[in-house]
Amino acid sequence: MEYTIQKLAHLAGVSTRTLRYYDEVGILKPARINSSGYRIYSQKEVDRLQQILFYRALEVGIDEIKQLLLNPSYDELDALNDHYQKLLEKRAQIDLLIHNVQSTIAMKKGEKPMTNKEKFQGLKQQLIKENEQKYGKEIREKYGDEKINRSNKQFANLSEEEFNQMNELGQQILEKLAIAMKTNNPQGELAQEVAKLHHQWLGYTWPSYSREAHAGLAQMYVSDERFTAYYDDAVETGATQFLCDAILYYTSK
């Protein structure tokens, strides 16, 4: 069965503009162009579109989708199994958040008690998920799945007090970084205090500390624009580089 662009858009619940965009970026080319100049899609393209929309539902970016689909080793069945597992994880996360909200409502009504640890169940998992979506690929390639999984587990098990301490320390790092930058000396006393605070902050999520890993993280901050934007936006342009230089000196001693 063949579809025009309008019929395929209607079938999939997307706009014709979206299909044209997918054609432009090279992830969904029509099977052919008919004599009237219309895009015609075959069953193969229907299946490909389903895969694309699965990835989009999982918030995978277009560039990454293109890299996956155009990989010669791409296997549709493997991809479907991967989609399935990730959707199960997503459902479990949503179920946990729903349970958290229900328990909080019951507590507010005086129907049941709720421990402080229970109040943060699901919320920390959501933060882990967001970090995985933003930075997971890069940090897993650098540190390996085992270390990242251990780090995520440690973060998920933080008590309310530890969670608050971590956030307060993160804010303290930003404030002191802004002051240290005025010295223009990443090896100075103020900058080294910031690097030490950053070391302490890592302790909330790192099961073990190493100077090499700390230095590697600092270098990742400046090599990846998404990491760079965090400190530069929170403090000022150049803050990430300054922090990196301070950490590199700190870890070299």
Task: Name the burial class of residue 138, with classes exposed (0-12), middle (13-18) and buried (19+) by CB atoms within 10 angstroms of its CB.
Answer: middle
The Cα 207–Cα 153 span in angstroms is 9
10-32 average pLDDT score:
95
* Average pLDDT rounded to a whole number, residues 162-188: 93
**pLDDT value at 70 more than 70:** yes
Cα–Cα distances in Å, from 40 out to 3, 161, 167? 6, 59, 53
Looking at residues 16-28, what average pLDDT do you find?
95
Whether residue 238 has pLDDT greater than 90 = yes
Q: DSSP class of residue 111?
A: S
Q: What is the dihedral of CA 224, 163, 147, 81, to 10 degrees?
A: -80
In one-letter notation, the amino acid at residue 183 is T
More confident residue, 94 or 34: 34
Mean pLDDT for the stretch of residues 181-197:
97
In the predicted structure, residue 133 carries a pLDDT above the cut 70: no
Domains and CATH numbers, the chain: 3-69 (1.10.1660.10), 75-114 (no CATH), 157-252 (1.10.490.50)
Q: Facing residues of 53 across strands?
A: none
Does residue 88 surpass a pLDDT of 90? no
User: How would residue 126 be classed by pLDDT, with cut points 50, 70 and 90?
Assistant: low
Q: Give residue 127's pLDDT.
A: 64
Mean per-residue pLDDT of the chain: 87
| Predicted TM-score (pTM) of this structure | 0.50
Tens of pLDDT, residue by residue over 197-236, are 999 999 998 888 999 999 999 998 998 887 888 899 999 9
Q: How far is CA 149 from CA 23, 140, 145, 209, in A?
A: 37, 9, 6, 15
Average pLDDT in the 39-61 region? Answer: 92
Q: Which of 189, 182, 216, 188 is nearest to 202 (CA)?
A: 216
Q: Is the pLDDT of residue 116 over 70?
A: no
Q: What percent of the chain has pLDDT over 70?
A: 89
